[in-house]
Homo-oligomer: A and B are copies of this chain.
Amino acid sequence: MSDRIENALTLALARATHGAPSQLASALRYAVFPGGARIRPRLCLAVAAASGEELPALSDAAACSLEFLHCASLVHDDLPCFDDAELRRGKPALHKVYGEALAVLTGDALIVLAFEHVARVASAAPERVAQLIGVLGRAAGSPHGLVAGQAYESEEKVPLARYHRAKTGALFVAATTAGAIVAGRDPAPWVRLGETIGEAYQIADDLLDALASPDEVGKPTRRDAELGRPNAVLSLGVDGALAQLQALGAEAAALVPAEGPGSEKLRELLIKTLERMVPQRAKQSAA
């Protein structure tokens, strides 16, 4: 699955970089490659397979668009006016290399590309285009998507659950539901699976921030305590956070249809994804 996703991303990105201003083209590649765990596109493809995928090119397109939105949010979130991050995925944050102007534009271009790409490929199944654009738009925008999630950090009082749902959960819900839509299925039964992964991911991220070193995660840590931001480890302790993570993993696995093509693989992916989320140090600290 890994090669499939990297190849699809390479091809999709080429359409935005070919003939583009050279610095922008270079920054776009820097933002997307090398990637992180590509959890969202993997999840989308696994749900598509478990839903009886019939148009693999459309599944690929949706998977790429999810990753482009994710990369866009990382590039913008790292800007000095937000997290002012030095590192991302083990290398200097994009604005440290290309400057703030190109970082803003790179994020913008990736957002546009996400919509453009899936619509172009989906024109073969026109009745699914609006549905896919709707799913991506809700996940990325305002009032309940990534942008809204980030904007809660500018509010005096942050509504914690809504903040996490928007900033982390929305794109996981988009990943599972888009997987159903590309296969021509009803997305509704897949919403909760996306939510559980989003909730688990948020707790894992809190564990990482509280316990890992910057070298281990390739980005600054202890930021939540420093910036006074909510964090599950600060409120539940390491053991409490780990227990909640485990419960969410069990719920996610139970949400996968018992039988059918791809069900077993999807369950495996969920277990591996959640296992990989838990930082080494949290496992040691709980042992």
**A25 to chain B: which residues have CB within 8 Å?**
142-143
> Which of these, B20, B152, B155, contacts A151 with CB under 8 Å?
B20
> Which of A113, A131, A148 has its CB near the most chain B CB atoms (within 10 A)?
A148
Where the two chains meet, the residues of A that have a C-beta atom closer than 8 Å to any C-beta of B are 16-25, 28, 72, 76, 79, 81-82, 99-102, 104-105, 107-109, 111-113, 115-116, 119-120, 122-123, 126-127, 129-131, 133-134, 136-138, 140-145, 147-148, 150-155
A16 near B142 with CB under 8 A, answer yes
Q: How many copies does the complex hold?
A: 2
CB pair A111 B113 closer than 8 Å: no
Nearest Cβ on chain B to A196's Cβ, whole angstroms:
23
Contacts of A145 in B (CB 8 A): 112
Interface centre among A18, A72, A100 (most CB of B within 10 A): A100
Residue in B closest to A137 when the chains form the complex, CB atoms: B116
Q: Given A16-B143, A82-B101, A126-B129, verify A137-B151 contact (CB < 8 Å).
A: no
Q: Is the CB of B24 within 8 A of A109?
A: no
- A123 and B130 form a contact (CB under 8 A): yes
Pull 7 A–B residue pairs with CB atoms less than 8 Å apart, ordered by A: A21-B151, A76-B104, A104-B107, A113-B141, A119-B133, A119-B137, A129-B133
Q: Is the CB of B151 within 8 A of A23?
A: yes
The reply to whether A155 and B107 contact each other, CB–CB distance below 8 Å, is no
Contacts of A152 in B (CB 8 A): 21
CA distance A129 to B142 in the complex (A): 21
Most chain B CB within 10 A, of A23, A76, A137, is at: A137
How many angstroms between the C-alpha atoms of A266 and B228 in the bound complex? 56
A13 → B minimal CB distance (Å): 10
A272 to chain B, nearest CB (A): 31
Q: How far is the CA of A23 from the CA of B150 in the complex (A)?
A: 12
B residues less than 8 Å from A82 (CB atoms): 101, 104
